[in-house]
Amino acid sequence: MILYSFRRCPYAMRARLGLHLSSLNPQVREIILKNKPAEMLEISPKGTVPVLAIQSESQHQDESITNKWLILEESLDIINYSLSHYPATNYEYLCKDEYDLLIESLTDKDTKALIDINDNEFKPWLDKYKYADRHLEFTEEYYREKACKFIAILEAKLNDKEHLLANSPTFADYAIFPFVRQFAHVNRSWFEQSQYSQVKKWLKHHIESDLFQSVMCKYPLWLDDKTLKTKLKQS
């Protein structure tokens, strides 16, 4: 079982969160995005992280199999697969009731709707805010204002509960906070002085959690290992 990852990518963070909350423990291969390993590109030609490769003997309708390897190329798919098929048994980061709620939230429509806004509305504005010098049509402040529409939604949801949809973390929290973390880092002084007190408190909780500290463990850079290509062809 192999996970191709890039430590600072919020999508990869999201996938690692799901894996840490499950009983799966893949070999993590930390890559450089400017020099993607040939082995990764062979099993996932689109060339983005995360990519999870699991040796598999069976095939499901919603899964793609390459020579008996299950290849998952989207962070949400990795979370869903790992938590649905391999739930944790030791409850290291959440108590049993909290963990049960997390599993239930995987199919919750409100959870899916909020993640969809994050991925399809907030993230494009976040990218322009982060790289405003590449998007000269408008100012950095303009892009931040657009991104803040989603931050305001989160602030409202956190006004009466500790997390986005409940008083313990759900799929929505783990899928969204890596992107809010990226938003906060664009201009930390502005974010710390902003009006979004509940979002700041919520983000601080997740960043300082034991789970996130484990997820952000530094792995040595992985260089091409030619044995994977041979293994995939022989499987």
Per-residue pLDDT of 25-66, as tens digits, reads: 999 999 998 889 999 999 999 999 999 999 865 545 555 544
- Co-location of 23 and 112 in the same domain: no
- Co-location of 79 and 11 in the same domain: yes
- Co-location of 125 and 204 in the same domain: yes
Q: Which of the 8 DSSP states describes residue 133? A: G
The 10s digit of each residue's pLDDT in 118-141 is: 999 999 999 999 999 999 999 999
Helices (H), 118-139: 123-130
**In the predicted structure, residue 229 carries a pLDDT above the cut 50:** no
- Boundaries of domain holding 113: 96-208
Is 183 inside any structural domain? Answer: yes
User: What is the tally of structural domains in the chain?
Assistant: 2
**In the predicted structure, residue 147 carries a pLDDT above the cut 60:** yes
- The predicted model gives 85-96 an average pLDDT of 94
- pLDDT given for residue 228 in this prediction: 46
- Co-location of 45 and 140 in the same domain: no
Chain centroid offset of residue 215 CA = 10
- Co-location of 101 and 77 in the same domain: no
Residue 28: CB atoms within 10 Å: 18
- Four-residue CA torsion sign, 150, 156, 158, 161: negative
- pLDDT given for residue 4 in this prediction: 97
- The predicted model gives 155-170 an average pLDDT of 97
- Co-location of 111 and 28 in the same domain: no
10-20 vs 171-186: helix axis angle to the nearest 10?
Answer: 150
Is 18 inside any structural domain? Answer: yes
- Co-location of 151 and 188 in the same domain: yes
- The predicted model gives 205-218 an average pLDDT of 96
Instruction: Read off the pTM.
Output: 0.89
What is the C-alpha to C-alpha distance for residues 88 and 99, in angstroms, rounded to an integer? 9
- Co-location of 60 and 115 in the same domain: no
